[in-house]
Structure 1
Amino acid sequence: MTLTGSFLRSCMVCSCVLSLGVMPALAAAPAGDSATVQKLAHSLEARVGMAAVMLDTGETVSIGDEAAYPMQSVFKFILALSVLKQVDEGKLDLEQIIHIRPEQLLKDTWSPLRERFPQGGDFSLKELLRVTVQESDNNTCDLLFALIGGTGTVQKDLKEWGISGINVRFTENEMLRNHDLQYVNSSRPSAMNALLRAFDEGKILNKGTQRFLWDIMAGCSTGATRLKGKLPQDYVVAHKTGSGFTTPEGVIAAVNDVGIIVLPNGRKMAVSVFVMDSKDSLPACEKVIASMARWLCTEWQPAAAK
C-alpha cells in the first residue's frame, strides 16, 4: 500500500488545546498561563505541539500533545544515543576511524561534511557524531544508521529504554526520496521529553558518553533563533533541531526544536516544540518556538524543588 501525505496527516489529528499535566502533590501553574500558550500556538496557521517538564519536580505544561509530529533531524539525537550505547557496550569506539568514499556523500542532501571533504576521507566516530548532531549532516546520519544496523536498532533501543510514542523507521535518504515518509518518523512532545529526561538522569549512557553528547548538543550550530532565540546568554540550551520539506504550495512540513534548558539557578527543563504543516514562514515558526521557550523560562511559575 502506498502511503500518501494526506493519509498520513489524517492519522495524526492534532488539537491545539492546552492541557496542564501535574504530578500528584504539585501545584498547577497559574490559570492565566493557558491563555498565553494558546495565543502563541494559535498565532500560526499550523499544528503546534509543545511539552515542557521541570526535571527536578516533574511538573509539566503541554499543548497539542495528543498527536505525533514529524521529527525530521530531531531523530539524530536518538540515533546518537543508540551509537553511544554501543560505545558503552564496547562494540564501537569513539576514536575508531571510519573511511568514507566519495560516492557515499550524496550531493542532493544537506551535508556540511561533503562540502568540506567532497572526496571523503578518514574520520573518527567522534567527529561523525559531532557533525551529525551539531551540524545536522544527512550523509553522516545515514552512515551511522548503517554502522549500528539500521533504524530497527534505534527502535529496539527505544523499547529497551521504556520510551513509547516515538517512531524511527526511515533514514534521511529514504525521506528525501519520498517526502511522505517524514510523517512516519514521528514523536509526541511528551515522549521526546521522557527520552530527554532519561538521558539527563543517566539512565541511558555512561557518564563519559553522556557528557560527550551533552557538550555536542550544547554546541549545536543550527536553530539559533528557535529555543535559544529569546533567552539571555546565561541560559544553557542543549538541543537538536529538525526542519521538514516545503511543498510547492509553500507549506512547511516541520519546524522543530527539542532539548534541555539549564536555568541560571541551575534547574533544568526539558522542552520539545513541534510545528507541523505550517502555512506561515520559517521565521514566523521560529519566533513562536522562541517565544514559548522565553515564556517557559521567565514567566511560567512551576513549584520549587523540594
Structure 2
Amino acid sequence: MTKLVVSLLTIIFSLQLAAQNIDTLRKELNQIIASKNATIGVSIKAIEDKDTLNINGKLNAPLMSVFKFHIALTTLHLVDKGKLSLSQKVFIKKEDLHKNTWSPIRDEYPNGNMYLTLDQLLRYTVSHSDNNGCDILLQVIGGAETVQNFIDNLGIKDFIIKLNEQDMRIWKNLYVNTTTPIATTELLEKFYKGKVLKKNTTKYLYRLMVETSRGITWMKAGLPEGTELAHRTGISDINEQNLRGAMNDVGIFKLPNGKHVILSIYLKNITEEREDTEKIIADITKATWKYFTQKTHSIEN
C-alpha cells in the first residue's frame, strides 16, 4: 500500500470519526434538553477547526443582559474611531442609579453625582453586569438605535435591540430585544477574529468578558476549574405564574491545546427551578468540552 493511499485512508477515517463524534454530541445534547421545561437553543463552533453544531439555532430568544456585549462592541467601535476615549469621564447622576435592579455602581456610590471613566463604566457593565451602568453607556453612545445600526452593518441578522435595562423591568418588554444562538455565534467569531474592533480593543473586551463575575454556576460550572472563558450572561425574573422569560450564557472557551470554541446557549419560557436551569447550561457546556477535548486527543494519537 502506497504512502498516498495510507494518507487518504487516514484522512477519510478521521473525517468519519469526526462526523460520528459530532453526531454523538448532538444526541447527548438532545438528551439533556429533551425533558426540560424550557425552549432551548444552542449554537457551537470551533473557531480554528470550524466544527459546527446547532440545535434550534434560529430560536428567537430574549437577549436580556447578553446585549451588554453588543453595547460594549458599539462603544469600543466609537473608541476606535476616536469619538470616545476610555479615559474620558462620565457624570453619574443620582437619578441614574435606579433602585430594585442589579447595580454594583449604586451599591458603591449610593448618592451618585460623581464621575466614572468610560473604562470603569465598561468594566461595571460587561464584567459585573451592572444594569444602571448599561443604561448610562447607552445614553453616552446615542441609544439602542446606535447599537442596532452598528450590528446591522456588521452583517449580523436576527438581532433586535430597542429597549434598555430599565425598560425591560416591564414583563412584556422582556421579549422585545431578541437574537438567535446562530447570530450570536457568528458575532462572537467576528469579534474574536478581529473583524469588529481593532486589536487592542478586541483584547480589552475579551479580557473584560474573562473577568465576568456573574453566572459562576452556569457555563463556567461545566468547565474544568481554571479554564479560560470569555462570556456574557443574561437572566430575567419570574412572573406570577413562576415563568422565567429567559436565561442565557454565551461565550468562548479555550481548550488545553490552545484552540477555542464558541458556545451560545439560550433558554426561553422556563418553568424549571433556577438551580435546575443553571445545571442545564452547565451540562451542555460540560458535554461540549468533553467532545472537543476527546476529539483533540483522538487526532493527536
Confirm or deny that 1:56 pairs with 2:48: yes
> Which of these residues, 175, 182, 201, is aligned with residue 174 of structure 2?
182
Confirm or deny that 1:67 pairs with 2:66: no
C-alpha contact (below 8 Å) 2:104/2:128 kept by paired residues = yes
Q: CA deviation at 1:29?
A: 4.6
Output the aligned Cα RMSD: 1.7
Cα distance per residue 1:207-258 (max 9 Å; x no partner):
1111111111001000011111021124210000000121111111111100
> Which of these residues, 89, 96, 107, is aligned with residue 81 of structure 2?
89
Determine helix, strand or coil for the equivalent of 1:32: helix
Determine helix, strand or coil for the equivalent of 2:160: coil
**CA–CA distance in 2 between the matches of 1:276 and 1:169?**
19
| Alignment-derived partner of residue 9 in structure 1 | none
Determine helix, strand or coil for the equivalent of 1:275: strand
| Alignment-derived partner of residue 253 in structure 2 | 261
* Unpaired segments ≥5 residues, structure 2: 1-14
* TM-score (normalised: structure 2): 0.89
C-alpha contact (below 8 Å) 2:162/2:177 kept by paired residues = yes
Confirm or deny that 1:137 pairs with 2:123: no
* Unpaired segments ≥5 residues, structure 1: 1-24
> Which of these residues, 145, 170, 173, is aligned with residue 163 of structure 2?
170
| Alignment-derived partner of residue 122 in structure 1 | 115
| Higher normalized helix content (fraction of residues) | 2
Q: CA deviation at 1:302?
A: 5.9
Determine helix, strand or coil for the equivalent of 2:212: coil
| Alignment-derived partner of residue 149 in structure 1 | 142
Determine helix, strand or coil for the equivalent of 1:266: coil
C-alpha contact (below 8 Å) 2:25/2:288 kept by paired residues = no
Specify whether residues 114 and 55 from structure 1 end up closer, same or farther in structure 2 by C-alpha distance, changes over 3 A only: same
**CA–CA distance in 1 between the matches of 2:20 and 2:80?**
39
Determine helix, strand or coil for the equivalent of 1:228: helix
Comparing 103-112 and 72-81, the one that deviates more: 103-112
Confirm or deny that 1:28 pairs with 2:13: no
C-alpha contact (below 8 Å) 1:228/1:237 kept by paired residues = yes
**CA–CA distance in 1 between the matches of 2:108 and 2:177?**
29
* Structure 1 residue ranges, 4+ long, deviating more than 2 angstroms after superposition: 25-35, 299-305
- Percent identity over the alignment is 35
Specify whether residues 29 and 144 from structure 1 end up closer, same or farther in structure 2 by C-alpha distance, changes over 3 A only: farther
C-alpha contact (below 8 Å) 2:58/2:182 kept by paired residues = no
